[in-house]
Chains A and B, each alone.
Chain A
Amino acid sequence: MVEERRPQIEISGLSVHYGSRSALREISLDVHRNEILGVIGPAQSGKSTLLKVLNRTIDFVPGAEARGRVLIDGEDVLKTRDVCGLRRKIGMVAPLPVGLPLSIYDNVAFAPRMAGIRNRADLDEIVERCLKQAALWEEVKDRLETLGTRLSGGQQQRLTIARALSHQPTILCLDEFSIAIDPVTTMRIEDVLKELRSKMTIVLVTNLVQQARRLAERTAFFLSGELVEVDRTERIFKAPADPKTHQYVQGFFG
């Protein structure tokens, strides 16, 4: 019997709109500690918006307004003042791979440096650890001075994961991470996620329903800004409560 602990993320009544367009409507959702939550749904269903709210990068979207309550470890992120501190608690991987125009080393050392860590030995340790966790170390360990922008797409996405891990987040969010990379790298990253699940909570937004099936314990289905249902992954795929869920996972619309 799992001890009743407070969920790490508690969302209640979250609504987001961009100007006149509504992106999320009255979302209520919990994310448990150390689980992998899959988030599936067609385009424009609000999945990316959900992630942007979690780490408050929604602040950078002009005209965006968010209402409701989003608690992470008991603190309401919509009201938090130390936004940069919040973002360091959450690792974010965007759909398109990005290598900053710095050396690979500096890419991974970027966040620790911004947080104030200057000691070379400490940074060395962080860079090696994160690149190993992201399954990129073996490929780049002899050329850490290479510019991040010169890596391939798959390598840059793993570099992004290394960057995300460098500030020791307790939550890792991935937004359709495999959309622009090859299948081999996708598989390697999925292995990485399987290894990380014991150390952190993972919210995996994906347009590949099979990916959610492979990795997630629970899955949430979003449609047009509403949370249709959330349940154990098996239930969602074999016997969902809502017919729309059934139609989506069977591929009747995408």
Chain B
Amino acid sequence: MPKPENFDKLTPDQKRKARLEAWINHEGITFTDPEAEKGYRERAQMFADAFEMKKPKRLPVAIATGFVPFLYAGYSCKDAMYDTDVLAKAMMKFHADFLPDTAASAGLYVPGQVLEILDYKLYHWPGHGVPENTSYQCAEAEFMKADEYASYLSDPSDYFIRTYLPRVMGALAPWKDLPPFTDILELPFIPWSTLPFGLPHIQESLKKLMRAGELSLAWAGKVAEIDNAVVTTLGLPKYQGGFSKAPYDVIADTMRGTRAMMLDIFRPDCGEVRLFGGPMSEDKKRRIGYMPEERGLYRDQKLAPTLEYLATLKGLSESEAARRLETWLKRLDLWGDRQKKIQDLSRGMQQKAQLIATLVHEPDLIVVDEPFANLDPVNTRMAIEMLTEQAERGKAIIMSTHLMFQVEAMCHRIVLIDKGRTVLYGTVDQIKRDFSTNAVLVEGQGDFQSLPGVLEARRENSHWHLSLAQGATPQAILRALAEQEGARIERFELAEPSLDDIFINVVKDGASARNGGREASDG
């Protein structure tokens, strides 16, 4: 069905319309008689109307046939999968007798011989694991082991070729002996990498696969013939473009089996969470206070009951929660608003309430994400005080923020994460020292431009920025200044870069490293 030339430029709605048009106009289909064509158009139109929420001429009927066509025509389910003449006769009879509004494809009834050649283990099919008059059924098992997720996810093709397929198809079992195709790197590797294909058991598996391929090809030709006959003689539109599987189905049905997959949900595949010097436990969760960036308070509930509820979730009794909350609410100037609904509080007030919820159970580990967002200067100072107070009481605080000056003022250690990777980690002092240039800031009066060891002296607002020559030390500069006649020094300090500067530098370097170092080589 050709689409309009400008198809790629259409909106999704227009594309849908164009597809339906093309479907109704049956481009590429030649009907055996005008009646069939008329019937086709009418049927397709009914579906198109239904899709577009218009009332169709009548309710169109699309059916999932299962194996009914064969049982109806007096054949077995097994016949359908082993005899394409039966497939043709039964599909035609079923559609001609019932005239559903769509053509069901014969492609659903896959060739049993191909499955046999491959020794396919994931399914049982009629006469092969289930009775001849029963549909094929999935017989899931652990074709992927619990510890193989990483291997599968890191290279799905390799995993399928050398691990999954050898397990799920007996004919391909020898493929577990194949080396990875990515070993074929250069000339010296060629013989060693092709050698396995000379081994008899590998060759045997390839022959089986080729035979299965031939049969599948012949079968697919027959399916196209059958489907085409149903469409062109009876005027029944085909309606399935194809099919796929959801990720859950791939993991649960195809690879791990439902039971195993459900256990996988609970079982860690690697690593462990350790906290406070031991494994994580339910009790330890109560020793954590977490303030998410997306606030999580119930908007239509009143402030005090909400905070009390959250506090009891962290293990406080209701009376203890109420007692502590009174102190907190008064301290943060929310006492008068305690019976208001959360949604009626300003964002700053909600922020303070969230902070209370984070701290009320006196956690040992406090995790705060952008804690100062929406706070005015007065409340920001109060929040800083609260966090500092917690730190002074020995609580560990992890703060996520983009405000570098606050990091500088409040944090002992920082970790800088860019694109999911740690690019910087250390104490604030150490990092600033690491990034410091050999320079000093001087404020006062005197001749700062002609000091020995000073490469460049630059006036910055009220002070001078002196870049020192290699080998020159700040101590030597200070000594020289002290000896300078008439000089008056009001401020002398090492010029340290701000965390803002460091952040920008590190992130920019990371970006240039990712770009093949082009930017780095420029500067």
The answer to whether A and B belong to the same complex is: no
Interface residues of B, Cβ cutoff 8 Å to A: none
Interface residues of A, Cβ cutoff 8 Å to B: none
